[in-house]
Amino acid sequence: MRLGVLDVGSNTVHLLVVDAHSGARPIPAYSHKAELRLAELLDAEGAIGPDGVDRLTATLRTALEISEDMGVEDLLPFATSAVREAANADHVLARVAEATGVKLEVLSGEDEARLTFLAARRWFGWSAGQLLVLDIGGGSLEIAYGGDEEPDRAVSLPLGAGRLTTSWLPGDPPDVADVRALRRHVRAEIARVVGQFSRFNPPDHVVATSKTFKQLARLAGAARSGEGLYVERELSRGALEEWVPRLAAMPAAERAELPGVSEGRARQLLAGALVAQAAMDLLRVQRAEICPWALREGVILRRLDHLRKG
């Protein structure tokens, strides 16, 4: 069957269309992205304003039209931290449902971590053993650990690259003092949860997902996305130690010229790199393998599992 997953994230609204069958690998058929940056549209009270709601509904209408044109049988719409944490989340969800008919499932941070872990587990398989999975989104950082498809521990922290850039790094290039303050903040937040993972045995594999990790790995010399999903890619802590000060000294326009860095994500890349470096350092990770599957694939896999059980 043809499934569509409609992901309302902190940075983008992403429609991914796949041909999927129970017990088989979902095959991507079409992808449509629209940059909305909801995390940057919050007002002083933390609410998504009328303009942001209008832009969201217009974007969803377009995604619905595309999904219909692509023959999607089952659409799975969900929202993550930007909508979840908006002061007027209930109002936004009601307006969206009224204007488009789309009833967004709002995932908790723990849901995000668990579904991303499921995707990583299915990608790497049982032979990968104990996995530690890291995911940096626009609004949050997810960390999950376990040996099965359901992680033993999953946490979400408000350390997304978009959120932190807006709140902590107003300059372009950012002020040195602001970078130092953000570094302290990120490490203090992650340090609070390290003990929840250090009580487990060391992972057999550390897996990183998300656009931020993929871009950082590309900077460190990983293969281009055009070389295929099955090319092994990784990011080392040593590479981050080299790149973080370089990124901090660059304006966004200069970062956008780096290999693998998109113009829309260039401004957020430093904050994402600081989070990645802190997570790898505090969790004692030397290298992370890049997984091409993440939250959207986890949502699809959960749906297929439910269909099989039904």
Per-residue confidence (pLDDT) for residue 310, from 0 to 100: 59
The list of the chain residues with pLDDT below 50 reads: none
| Superfamily of domain covering 2-106 | ATPase, nucleotide binding domain (3.30.420.40)
Per-residue confidence (pLDDT) for residue 44, from 0 to 100: 80
Per-residue confidence (pLDDT) for residue 43, from 0 to 100: 82
Q: What is the pLDDT of residues 92-146, one digit of tens each?
A: 999 999 999 999 999 999 999 999 999 999 999 999 999 999 999 999 999 999 9
Domain 109-295 part of CATH 3.30.420.150: yes
Distance CA 289, CA 169 (A): 28
Common-topology check for domains 2-106 and 109-295: yes
Per-residue confidence (pLDDT) for residue 226, from 0 to 100: 86
Listed by start position, the domains of the chain span 2-106, 109-295
Dihedral in degrees, nearest 10, Cα atoms 234, 288, 207, 127: 80
